[in-house]
Structure 1
C-alpha cells in the first residue's frame, strides 16, 4: 500500500473507513471464542505475524530497513508493542464482565486521550468546530451503549478495563504517529506485531495459561481476528497514521460501535435499539464535523510531525 514515505497510494480517509469496517468485527470474534482472554490476544498477534511474514518476499527492502533501525527506534517499537499488548489484554478481559456494546463504546473513547496526547506531544490544536464534532461523536457513542450499561458489580469492573484499554491503545497510536515519520508501515507493523506477540506469550507463560488444547472453532476465531480487525484494520491504521494524526484516527474509530452493533444483531442475536440507531446517526454527524473542520484536513493531507522531530538519520 505504500510505495514511498511521502505520497499515499490511496486516499487516507478511504483507508481509514476500510479500517474501521474491519475492526468492527473484533468484539464479535472475541465473544464467539471460549478461550481465555490472554490466549485470544496472543494468537491474534501471533497469527498476524505469521500472515505478514510471506510478504517479505515482495518487500525485501524491509529487512534492510529493519536492520538499520537504531536503538531509539527499537525502544519506541517495543513501547508501542507493550501498549498494544496491554490494550488487547484489557479490552478482551472486559468482554468477560460487560456487554459488547458497553465495552466497545468505552474502548472507543480514544479521542479524549488523543486530544490531550496530540496537544502535549505534537503541539496539535483542534479547531472549535472540529472539537465540537469530536465531542458530539463521543456523545453518540454513549447514546449507543447507554441502555446496555450495567452499573455495579463485575460489569463496572469490565467497563473500567475497557476504559483503560482506550488509554493504552491511544499510547500505541501516539508512538506510531512519531515513528511512522521515519519508518515504512510494513517494517513498523512487522516489528511491533512481533514485539506484541512476544510480550503476550511471556504473559501467558508467567501466569500459566496453556498455549494449546483449544477447540478447532477457537483456532478459527484466532485466525479471523488476525486477518480482519488486525491485518485489515490495525495495519491499515499503521499505514494511514503517516498522513492522518492520532486524533483523526481515534475519531474514525468512533464509528466502530455502529458496525459492531449491526454485526452483533446478525451474529449474536443482540437487539439494535432505537437509542443505538440515534447514537449511530449522532456519531456519523460528529465525525463529519470533525473531518470537515479539522485544521489538518483544511490544509490538505500532509504528514504529521511532532514538535521536536529528530532527523531521520538520528533515529535510523
Structure 2
C-alpha cells in the first residue's frame, strides 16, 4: 500500500491530543467507581466501544471493503495490537485493586520511557536534547504527584508492579499502531483492534471463570462511560493522530493524565489535591511544553526518508 503519512489532517493533531488526554483522565475514576472485577470492567469497556462504533459503518461503508483487503501481515499486527491493549487494561485495572489511583496512574503513564526506546529501535527516531530534557522533566513531575501516595511493601507494591507492566504493554500497543496506521484508516484500524481486544478479554474471562452477567445497573453505567469517554473520545483520538504524531509524543502527552485524574478524584472521590500534586502538575505541563516545542520526531515534521524508513525497520 502507498504510505500517505504526510497527508494533512482535517483537525489539528495536537489539539486532538489535548482533548484525548482530558478524556482518558476519567478512566481511573470510572474503574474505582465500579465494583465489578477488573477483567469484567476491561471486557465491557471494549465490547461497548465496539457496539458504539458499529453504527458508524453506515457513514463509512468503505471501511468494510478496506478491512476485507487487509494483508495477512496487517491482520496479525492488528491482533497483536489488540493483545497488547487487552493486557494493558487487565494489568492497570487490576493494579487499582491494590494501590491508590495516584500511584497506579503515575506508574502506568511512565510509558514515554519505553516509547523512547521503542521509537529508537523500531523507527530510528531521534529526540533532541531539549525535547528529551522536557520528557524527563515531565516524568519527574509524575513522580512528584504520586510520591506522597506511593505505598511501600505488601500488596500495594504488587499493584505498583502491575501498573508498570501496564505501561510496557500500552507502549507496545502504540508502537504497533504507529506502523499499521500508515496502511489503514483510523476507523478501520480502531474497529479491528477493539474487536480483537474484546475477543481476547472475553476469552480471558471464560478461562478464569468470571461471570459475564449479573452485575448491578450502576456497574453497567460505568462500563458505558468507560467506553464512551476514555476509549472512544480518548484512545480512538490517539489512534487517529498516530498517523501524524509518533508514539513518543503521544506518550508524553498522556503524562498530563495524572493532572486530570487528580482533579477529578478531588471532585468525585473526595481525594485531597495536595501541594506536591499541584507542584508536580506544573512540572509536568512545563516538561510537555518543552518536549512538544523542541521535538522534531513528530511525523508532521520528519523528512520523507525518515517516514519511509519506518516500515522497513518493522518489516
Rounded Cα–Cα distance in structure 1 between residues aligned with 2:77 and 2:124: 19
Matched, 1:309 2:314: no
Alpha carbons 2:18, 2:253 under 8 Å: kept = yes
SS in 2 for 1:291: helix
Change (3 A) 1:298 1:31: closer
Rounded Cα–Cα distance in structure 2 between residues aligned with 1:17 and 1:302: 25
Instruction: Give the Å deviation of 1:295.
Output: 1.3
SS in 1 for 2:127: coil
Rounded Cα–Cα distance in structure 2 between residues aligned with 1:25 and 1:31: 10
Give the ranges of 4+ consecutive aligned residues of structure 1 lying more than 6 Å apart after TM superposition.
301-304
Matched, 1:199 2:200: yes
Change (3 A) 1:275 1:236: same
Matched, 1:288 2:289: yes
Instruction: Give the Å deviation of 1:309.
Output: 2.0
Rounded Cα–Cα distance in structure 2 between residues aligned with 1:293 and 1:250: 16
Change (3 A) 1:297 1:246: closer
Matched, 1:233 2:237: no
Residues 170-212 of structure 1 deviation map (CA, whole Å, 9 limit, x = unaligned): 0000000000011000000000000000000000000000000
Rounded Cα–Cα distance in structure 1 between residues aligned with 2:83 and 2:308: 21
Alpha carbons 1:178, 1:306 under 8 Å: kept = no
Rounded Cα–Cα distance in structure 2 between residues aligned with 1:34 and 1:298: 41
Residues 73-95 of structure 1 deviation map (CA, whole Å, 9 limit, x = unaligned): 00000000000000000000000
Alpha carbons 2:138, 2:255 under 8 Å: kept = yes
Counterparts in 2 of 1:1-316, with a 5 A limit?
6-296=7-297, 300=301, 305=307, 307-309=309-311
Q: Which runs of 5+ in 1 are unaligned?
A: none
Instruction: Give the Å deviation of 1:302.
Output: 7.6
Alpha carbons 1:244, 1:301 under 8 Å: kept = no
TM-score scaled by structure 2? 0.95
Change (3 A) 1:19 1:308: closer
Residues 250-300 of structure 1 deviation map (CA, whole Å, 9 limit, x = unaligned): 000000000000000000000100000000000000000000110135973
- Cα RMSD of the aligned pairs, angstroms, is 1.6
Rounded Cα–Cα distance in structure 1 between residues aligned with 2:171 and 2:234: 15
Rounded Cα–Cα distance in structure 1 between residues aligned with 2:57 and 2:271: 41
Alpha carbons 1:108, 1:250 under 8 Å: kept = yes
**Between Structure 1 and Structure 2, how many residues are aligned?**
308
Rounded Cα–Cα distance in structure 1 between residues aligned with 2:194 and 2:140: 32
Alpha carbons 2:299, 2:307 under 8 Å: kept = no
Alpha carbons 2:110, 2:164 under 8 Å: kept = yes
Change (3 A) 1:93 1:292: same
Q: Which runs of 5+ in 2 are unaligned?
A: none
Rounded Cα–Cα distance in structure 1 between residues aligned with 2:300 and 2:209: 52
Alpha carbons 1:181, 1:305 under 8 Å: kept = no
SS in 2 for 1:242: coil
Residues 43-67 of structure 1 deviation map (CA, whole Å, 9 limit, x = unaligned): 0000000000000000000000000
